[in-house]
Structures are given as C-alpha cells and as structure tokens.
Amino acid sequence: MTRVVVAYVATLAVFAALDFVWLTQVGPSLYQPLIGSILAPEPRMGPAVLFYALYIVGLVYFAVLPGLACARWQVALLKGALFGFFAYATYDLTNQATLIIWNSRITMLDMAWGSFVSGVGSAGGCLITRYVAKG
C-alpha cells in the first residue's frame, strides 16, 4: 500500500508541475485567442482538483504500476502516453464535434500535450517510486 501511495504522490507531483507550466505559460496564448469567449474568467478549482485526483489514479493504475511491476520506467512512459492520448482525444474530439468555436489546432496540440505530460508524469512517478520505495 505504501508503494501505491508513493506512486500516486510522485506521479501527481510530476504531472502537476508540468501541467502548471503548460497552463500558465503556453495555455493563455494558445487558448485565449481561439476559445477565449467560452473560457471562465477564473478556473473553477473544485472540478480542477477532482480531475487531477481522478486522472492520477488512472495513470498510476494503467501506467505506473505496470512499469513498477516489470521494473521498467519505459513501460510507464509508453502506457502513460497512450492513456493521455486516448483521454485527451476523448475530450478534444468531443469538443470539436460539438462546439462551433473549437478547432483542429487546439485538438492536435492538446492531444500531443496530453500524451507528453501523461507519459512523462508516469515515467517520473515510476522512477521516483522505485527510488523512494526501493523496489
């Protein structure tokens, strides 16, 4: 159980740090010009916290733990990237299909980001857990 908690905290830390940089440095210049009219003036923290809490459970279960089981961070990287690709694709392609204002540029960039941040977050979580939990 301790190993799973370490994996969760480590994966959350890596994912959140990367996503913070994306959302504060890249996001405003990407999203505001394209979909600014439908953005909330300030993020709603409740749903954001719930997303991170649940999404990291998915990364740990589907990517980090399999990487730990075979002692290969590359497995966590690949499985995390695939998890991110499919999760972000679901969100972005649904938005593109249903929202007039959504476009292909946002979809492609966001799916690429989701793949990257999920893969690196999972690999980082795996490596940190192996170091901290020694195993």
Per-residue pLDDT of 5-27, as tens digits, reads 999 999 999 999 999 999 999 88
Q: What Rg value do the Cα atoms of the chain yield, rounded?
A: 16
Segments forming the whole domain that contains residue 11: 2-133
What tokens appear for 19 in the block?
A: 């996503």
Its pTM stands at: 0.94
Q: What are the tens digits of pLDDT across the range 29-80?
A: 888 898 888 888 888 999 999 999 999 999 999 999 999 999 999 999 999 9
Total of domains in the chain? 1
Inter-residue contact 90 to 96 (CB < 8 Å): no
What tokens appear for 66 in the block?
A: 């399999």
Closest alpha carbon to 58 in 92, 85, 37: 85
Cβ-in-10-Å burial (0-12, 13-18, 19+) of 131 comes to exposed
